[in-house]
Copies of this chain bind each other. A is one copy, B any other.
Amino acid sequence: MENTLRMALLFDFYGPLLTERQAHVFQMYFHEDLSLGEVGEELDVSRQAIYDILKRSGTLLEDFESKLGLVAKHQERQRLYDEALALIELCRTADLKDRDQYLTELAETIKQAQRQG
């Protein structure tokens, strides 16, 4: 369970596909930052049972990502949006010729996002 950030990101995208119990345990451990023992106490099950649920949930989330790639696509889109916003700022102060060039690049950036779906 080393990669907390990765797990939180995967959960953002695929959390609704987990069972209610898996999601509940996941949130207590990763979002409320309770220990395995504390989550176990809360739910009246063993520390080991909580560990197993988290491990199973983590595997499911990674499996969804390997099939749908939503996190990867999201990150690529965000990169394109940042690029587009930077080009818009350049456009504002550029002379006419450069401005046309920036607009062409901007359209290309958006079409790239469009093709990605």
Contacts and interface: CB of A to CB of B under 8 A. Distances in A.
Interface of A: 13-14, 16-17, 64, 67-68, 70, 74, 77-78, 81, 84-85, 88, 91-92, 99-100, 103, 106-107, 110-111, 113-114, 117
Given A17-B68, A68-B16, A107 B81 contact: no
Contacts of A16: 67-68
Nearest to A74: B117
* Main secondary structure on A side of the interface with B: helix
Contacts of A13: 68
Contact of A92 (B17, B70, B100): B100
B88 A110 contact: yes
Given A68-B16, A117-B74, A106 B88 contact: yes
A91 B92 CA distance: 11
22 contacts: A13-B68, A14-B68, A16-B67, A16-B68, A17-B64, A17-B67, A17-B68, A68-B70, A81-B110, A81-B114, A84-B110, A85-B107, A85-B110, A85-B111, A88-B103, A88-B110, A91-B91, A91-B103, A92-B100, A99-B99, A106-B106, A113-B113
